[in-house]
Amino acid sequence: MDNMLSSVGGIWRHAWRAPVPRNALKVALVVGLLLNLINQGSAFYGQDAISWPHVVLNFLVPYCVASYSAARVRFTEECILRRESYPTNNENTS
């Protein structure tokens, strides 16, 4: 359980460090725009009403996915570097 909590904390920490938020924002803007055009195209052309909660979600979900993915990669790299630098109990220390 402690290992899982430290993983969540490590991923959360990396999600707020540069350049993760900036890159996730770029992805969210591109993907969110495309999703809104696909999902609500008729609303943008005046045929239907715009669903503002869907507009927000179409930007928020790609931001969260991009942030999590990048933070997870950075956290995994950090763990690998720690294991290479510091021997664990399973490794022989001669």
Residue 6 placed within a domain: no
Residue 64 placed within a domain: yes
3-state helix, strand, coil in the chain (%, to 5): 80, 0, 20
Q: Which domain holds residue 77?
A: 18-85
Residue 80 placed within a domain: yes
- Provide the whole-model pTM: 0.77
Number of structural domains the chain divides into: 1
With contact defined as beta carbons under 8 Å apart, do 70 and 27 qualify? Answer: no
Indicate if the pLDDT at residue 86 is higher than 50: no
Residue 4 placed within a domain: no
Per residue in 68-81, pLDDT tens?
A: 999 999 988 888 88
pLDDT score, position 46 = 84
Residue 5 placed within a domain: no
Cα gap 86→88, rounded to integer Å: 6
Per residue in 10-52, pLDDT tens?
A: 888 989 999 999 999 999 999 999 999 999 988 888 889 999 9
